[in-house]
Structure 1
Amino acid sequence: MSTPHADEANAQAMPPAKPLVVGLVQINNSFSGQNYLPYSVALLQTYVKKFAAQPELYRFLPPLYKRVRIADAVEALKDADIVGFSTYVWNGRISLEIARRLKALKPGIVILFGGPHVPDQPESFMRANRQIDLAVHNEGERTFLKLLETFHERSTWESVPGVSMVKPDGSFVRTQNLDRVRDLDEIPSPFLEGAFDEIMAANQTESWIGLWETNRGCPFRCTFCDWGSATAGKVTKFGEERLYREVDWFAQKKIEYIFCCDANFGIQKRDVDIANYVADVKNTTGYPVALSVQNTKNATERAYETQKILSDAGLNKGVALSMQSVDMPTLEAIKRDNISLGTYMELQRRFTRDKVETYSDLILGLPGETYESFVRGVDQLMENGQHNRIQFNNLSILPNAEMGDPAYQAKYGMVTVESKIINIHGERIELDDDVPEVQDLVIATAATPLDDWRRTRIFCWMTALLHFDKLFQIPLILAHGISGISYRDMIEAFMAAGAKRFPTIAGINAFFESEARSIQQGGSEYVFSKEYLNIFWPADEYIFVKLTAEGRFDDFYKEAGELLSETVRARSDGLPLEIVEEAVRLNHALVHQPFAKGDVKVKLEYDLLDYWNKVRGGEPALLRKVPIVVEVDRTSRPYDDFQKWCREIVWWGNKKGAYLYAQRAVEITPELAGHY
Structure 2
Amino acid sequence: MKIGFLELSHVFANQVKLPYSTGCVWSHCKTVDEISNHFSFDVSDWFYALDGSLDVTDTAQKLSQCDVIGVSYFVWNTHISDRICAEIKKINSNCLIVYGGLGTPKYGRCEDFLLERSFIDVIVHNEGEIVFENLLKAIIHNNDFSNVKGITTHKFQTPLEERIKNISEMPSPYLDGLFDDLIAIKNHDYEWESLIELERGCPYTCTFCEVGDRHWTKIIKQDFDKMIREIDWVSEQKIDYLHLIDNNFGMYKNHRIISDLLIDKLETTGYPNTLNITWAKHKKPYLFDIAEDLWKVGLNKSVTLALQSNNYKTLKAVERANENTNLKEVVAHLKQRGMPAYIETILGLPEETLISFKEGLYRLIDEIDYHNYIGIYVMVALPNTPFGDPEYIKKYGIEIKQTSPAFFHHDHPPEKLLNDVNNVVVGSNTMSFDDYIEASGWKWYMISMHFLGWLRILAMDLKKQYGITHREFYDKLFLWFMSNKETLLFKEYNITIKMLKKVFDRKIPWGRKVSDVSTIYWEYEEATSIHIAKEKNRFYDEIVEFLDVKFDINANVIDNQFNKMKDPYKIYNGDLEKWARECMWWGRRADRFFV
TMscore range, shorter length: over 0.9
Deviation at 1:60, TM superposition (A): 0.5
Whole-angstrom distance in 2 between the partners of 1:90 and 1:233:
25
After superposition, residues 471-482 of structure 1 pair within 5 angstroms as: 471-482=454-465
Which of 163, 167, 190 is the aligned partner of 2:151?
Answer: 163
After superposing the two structures, state which structure 1 stretch, 28-37 or 309-318, moved more. 309-318
| 8 Å contact kept, 1:397–1:442 | yes
**Corresponding residue of 2:587:** 653
Whole-angstrom distance in 2 between the partners of 1:430 and 1:154:
45
**Corresponding residue of 1:491:** 474
Whole-angstrom distance in 2 between the partners of 1:178 and 1:128:
26
After superposing the two structures, state which structure 1 stretch, 294-303 or 109-118, moved more. 294-303
TM-score calculated relative to the size of structure 1: 0.82
Deviation at 1:230, TM superposition (A): 6.3
Which of 426, 430, 440 is the aligned partner of 1:447?
Answer: 430
**Corresponding residue of 1:273:** 257
Deviation at 1:114, TM superposition (A): 0.5
Structure 1 counterpart of 2:117, one-letter code? N
SS of corresponding position for 1:440? strand
**Corresponding residue of 2:529:** 544
Alpha-carbon spacing, 1:281–1:81, altered in 2? closer, same or farther (3 Å) = same
Whole-angstrom distance in 1 between the partners of 2:569 and 2:258:
45
Whole-angstrom distance in 1 between the partners of 2:448 and 2:153:
50
| 8 Å contact kept, 2:582–2:592 | no
**Corresponding residue of 1:115:** 101
Deviation at 1:182, TM superposition (A): 0.9
Structure 1 counterpart of 2:87, one-letter code? R
Alpha-carbon spacing, 1:349–1:197, altered in 2? closer, same or farther (3 Å) = same
Whole-angstrom distance in 1 between the partners of 2:578 and 2:281:
38
Which of 31, 42, 46 is the aligned partner of 2:23?
Answer: 42
| 8 Å contact kept, 2:437–2:497 | yes
Which of 540, 558, 565 is the aligned partner of 2:541?
Answer: 558
**Corresponding residue of 2:89:** 103
Deviation at 1:501, TM superposition (A): 8.0
**Corresponding residue of 2:411:** 427
Deviation at 1:282, TM superposition (A): 1.6
Does the alignment pair 1:337 with 2:337?
A: no
Whole-angstrom distance in 1 between the partners of 2:321 and 2:564:
41
**Corresponding residue of 1:150:** 138
Whole-angstrom distance in 2 between the partners of 1:442 and 1:486:
32
Structure 1 counterpart of 2:515, one-letter code? K
Rg bigger for which structure? 1
Gaps of 5+ in 1: 1-19, 167-171, 570-576, 597-636, 662-676
| 8 Å contact kept, 2:372–2:591 | yes
**Corresponding residue of 1:386:** 370
Which of 501, 505, 516 is the aligned partner of 1:531?
Answer: 516
Deviation at 1:470, TM superposition (A): 1.4
Does the alignment pair 1:138 with 2:119?
A: no
SS of corresponding position for 1:273? helix
Whole-angstrom distance in 1 between the partners of 2:565 and 2:47:
44
Whole-angstrom distance in 1 between the partners of 2:439 and 2:511:
16
Deviation at 1:235, TM superposition (A): 0.7
**Corresponding residue of 1:587:** 561
TM-score calculated relative to the size of structure 2: 0.93
| 8 Å contact kept, 1:257–1:288 | yes
Which deviations, in whole Å up to 9, do the C-alpha atoms of 1:111-168 show, x marking residues without a partner? 10001111122122112211111111010101111111221444421221001112xx
SS of corresponding position for 2:593? coil
Deviation at 1:246, TM superposition (A): 1.1
Whole-angstrom distance in 1 between the partners of 2:479 and 2:496:
12
| 8 Å contact kept, 1:485–1:568 | no
Does the alignment pair 1:352 with 2:286?
A: no
Alpha-carbon spacing, 1:407–1:312, altered in 2? closer, same or farther (3 Å) = same
| 8 Å contact kept, 2:348–2:427 | yes
| 8 Å contact kept, 2:263–2:294 | yes
Does the alignment pair 1:92 with 2:78?
A: yes
Does the alignment pair 1:406 with 2:390?
A: yes
| 8 Å contact kept, 1:34–1:209 | yes
Whole-angstrom distance in 1 between the partners of 2:467 and 2:525:
26
Does the alignment pair 1:28 with 2:39?
A: no
**Corresponding residue of 1:467:** 450
Which of 439, 447, 457 is the aligned partner of 1:456?
Answer: 439
SS of corresponding position for 1:535? coil
Whole-angstrom distance in 1 between the partners of 2:220 and 2:184:
33
After superposing the two structures, state which structure 1 stretch, 93-102 or 406-415, moved more. 406-415
After superposing the two structures, state which structure 1 stretch, 486-495 or 94-103, moved more. 486-495
Structure 2 counterpart of 1:558, one-letter code? D
**Corresponding residue of 1:607:** none
Which deviations, in whole Å up to 9, do the C-alpha atoms of 1:186-225 show, x marking residues without a partner? 2111111111111211117431001111000011111111
**Corresponding residue of 1:4:** none
| 8 Å contact kept, 2:405–2:417 | no
| 8 Å contact kept, 1:22–1:82 | yes
Whole-angstrom distance in 1 between the partners of 2:497 and 2:117:
39
Deviation at 1:535, TM superposition (A): 1.5
SS of corresponding position for 1:557? helix
Which deviations, in whole Å up to 9, do the C-alpha atoms of 1:334-389 show, x marking residues without a partner? 111143331x4333222222121221111112111112222222122223232220
**Corresponding residue of 1:176:** 159
Deviation at 1:99, TM superposition (A): 1.0
Deviation at 1:39, TM superposition (A): 0.4
After superposition, residues 504-519 of structure 1 pair within 5 angstroms as: 504-519=488-503
Whole-angstrom distance in 2 between the partners of 1:518 and 1:237:
45
Which of 52, 56, 63 is the aligned partner of 1:77?
Answer: 63
Whole-angstrom distance in 1 between the partners of 2:323 and 2:585:
32
Deviation at 1:316, TM superposition (A): 1.7
Which deviations, in whole Å up to 9, do the C-alpha atoms of 1:571-629 show, x marking residues without a partner? xxxxxx34xx3331232233233433xxxxxxxxxxxxxxxxxxxxxxxxxxxxxxxxx
Gaps of 5+ in 2: none
Structure 2 counterpart of 1:190, one-letter code? P
| 8 Å contact kept, 2:253–2:287 | no
Deviation at 1:301, TM superposition (A): 2.1
Which of 199, 214, 224 is the aligned partner of 2:198?
Answer: 214
| 8 Å contact kept, 2:38–2:140 | no
Which of 358, 372, 386 is the aligned partner of 1:375?
Answer: 358
| 8 Å contact kept, 1:158–1:165 | no
Deviation at 1:545, TM superposition (A): 1.4
Using the aligned pairs only, state the percent identity: 27
Whole-angstrom distance in 2 between the partners of 1:519 and 1:195:
40
Alpha-carbon spacing, 1:181–1:248, altered in 2? closer, same or farther (3 Å) = same
SS of corresponding position for 1:465? helix
**Corresponding residue of 1:237:** 221
